Amino acid sequence: MKIRKLLRILHRDFGYFIVGMTIVYALSGIYLNHRHDFNPDYKIFITDFQVDLPQKDAITEKDVKAALISVNEDVVYKKHYINNEGFIKVFIENGEAVINPETGKGTMQYLQKRPIIYSMNKLHKASIGTVWKWVSDIMAVILVFVAVSGLFILKGKRGFNRWGWWLMVAGIVVPLVFALIYI
């Protein structure tokens, strides 16, 4: 079998195989690029509120629960403690709240996972354990193979020797220019 034919078959089959992971890397890559603009994993909702707390030395779990439910009845209380500033810090399901026990003023921060993207980011960052790290390495090698084998599939005017060469150089020059300027 000719090399070009073999490359075409492997490029086609590995190309089908790797399309899912390519989408994962590309989409999550966009979100992770903007990690300094917004949280790539979670939507964050912040609300200020005012509650009535009993004026006593020891605020109980019951007091805190009642205060939070008056703000939002869906809030699920987990735990609370008095922090170094003397404020009540409350851990709630998917977030936290801080309440000034004297004024009753508080702020609640509620997190919501970005559907699908959260999982994609985890896969992209290989932060789900050792096994996935090695599997994603294999995926990356396949991706490189698909990219490189694609160079040699077409013959003629639109092949790598003419058209393809210049486009490949253009694709390398863009990141190279940024690397030379900013790194």
Catalog residues that contact another protein under the rule CB under 8 A: 13-14, 16-17, 35, 39, 41-42, 78-79, 81, 83-84, 89, 91-96, 111, 121-122, 125, 127-131, 133-135, 138
Nearest approach in angstroms of CB 145 to another protein is 12
Nearest approach in angstroms of CB 157 to another protein is 31
Nearest approach in angstroms of CB 163 to another protein is 29
**What values do phi and psi take at 7, rounded to 5?**
-60, -40
* Cα–Cα distance, 27 to 131 (Å, whole number): 22
Helix (H/G/I), strand (E/B), else coil: 5: helix
* Cα–Cα distance, 29 to 33 (Å, whole number): 6
- Closer to another protein by Cβ: residue 131 or 179: 131
- Closer to another protein by Cβ: residue 66 or 111: 111
Nearest approach in angstroms of CB 58 to another protein is 15
- Give long-range contacts, CB 8 A cutoff, 24+ apart: 117-121: 117/27, 117/28, 117/31, 117/40, 117/41, 118/41, 118/42, 120/24, 120/27, 120/28, 120/31, 121/28, 121/31, 121/32, 121/40, 121/41
- Closer to another protein by Cβ: residue 26 or 44: 44
- Closer to another protein by Cβ: residue 5 or 133: 133
- Closer to another protein by Cβ: residue 94 or 104: 94
Instruction: Compute the CA torsion angle 8, 12, 18, 23 (nearest 10 deg).
Output: 110
Nearest approach in angstroms of CB 42 to another protein is 6
